[in-house]
Amino acid sequence: MRISTFFYSIRQGFRNIFRNKSFSLASIATMTACLFMLGVVVCITLNAQEAVKTAEQGVSVTVYFNEGTSDERIAAIGDDIGRRVEVSHTDFISADQAWDSFKTEYLGEFSDGFTENPLANSMHYEIYLSDVSMQSSLVTYLQSIPEVRKVNQSKVVADFFSGFDSLVGYISLGMIVILLLVTIFLISNTVTVGISVRKEEINIMKYIGATDFFVRAPYVVEGIIIGAVGAGLPLIALYYLYINVTEFLTAKFSVIFNFMEFLPVDVIMKQLIPISFAIGIGIGFLGSFVTVRKHLKV
């Protein structure tokens, strides 16, 4: 392709947009509306998954040791546990810490009558999971350690979070797929109709000897530009809308949102930007390419 042809295609692509304003505006509006709705669903999905993940981090497994186990052995076991893939982090609770916590929570001033620590053999690790669905494999490993006396696990809670996480994932995936198919259908149809009405112009160019590439290139450029604009506008709207909505909800429902946090807007945008532009530019390119191809045979 010659440089002059390249720049000609770019110029003609922009001219086509302004020359066919109604088609261009209809295509951009359709694309913006569809991608905006898709973006809203993605925002909700990402925050829902993050909320479940945050709640899962509060699920712990508690492991107690046999009487007489040395501090060095307990520390070595703790190091081994901390290196496992299921584990996010561990907290070691000594016997004195366990007794202090018990006194504060249950006994108060009545604890003055105790001269010795009745929980002298209650040192333990509280193990927090990186993925609650892997709790059973961790418990199996802990129970295989000879020095371990007892393992407490939250099986019902773990099963609930694991099932709920899967449910959120399936529902979100289904909604995104449906919206994506609707988006592709509406946008491609709009682009197709807009270019089809100019088939006479394409036929004339073919009759006077223009090559297929020369005819097709300006329309492909036009489709890409419309796709880029149609993808960029909803991203801008979603950026400011997300900031305002999260600030409003956090201020008005602080009691609820003290227990969870919205994902930062930059994290959301990192997910949305490639998705939005890939769909917009991809459909703009393919829609114009395929449609023009149908009218090249004269």
For the chain, give percent helix, strand, coil, nearest 5.
75, 10, 15
- Distance CA(193)–CA(88), nearest Å, equals 54
- Specify the DSSP class assigned to residue 151: E
Domain limits of the chain?
Answer: 3-55+162-294, 60-153
Structure tokens belonging to residue 279: 């769909």
Q: Which range is least confidently modeled, 79-83, 206-210, 227-231, 257-261?
A: 257-261
- More confident: 254 or 37: 37
Q: Is the predicted pLDDT of residue 57 greater than 90, yes or no?
A: no
Tell me yes or no: is domain 60-153 CATH 3.30.70.1520: no
Q: Is the predicted pLDDT of residue 110 greater than 60, yes or no?
A: no
Alpha helices (H) along the chain: 3-19, 21-56, 71-82, 95-102, 135-143, 155-196, 199-207, 212-252, 254-257, 265-294
pTM above 0.85, yes or no: no
- Distance CA(100)–CA(96), nearest Å, equals 6
pLDDT in tens, 192-251: 666 666 667 777 777 777 677 777 788 788 888 888 998 899 999 999 999 998 888 888
Q: Is the predicted pLDDT of residue 297 greater than 80, yes or no?
A: no
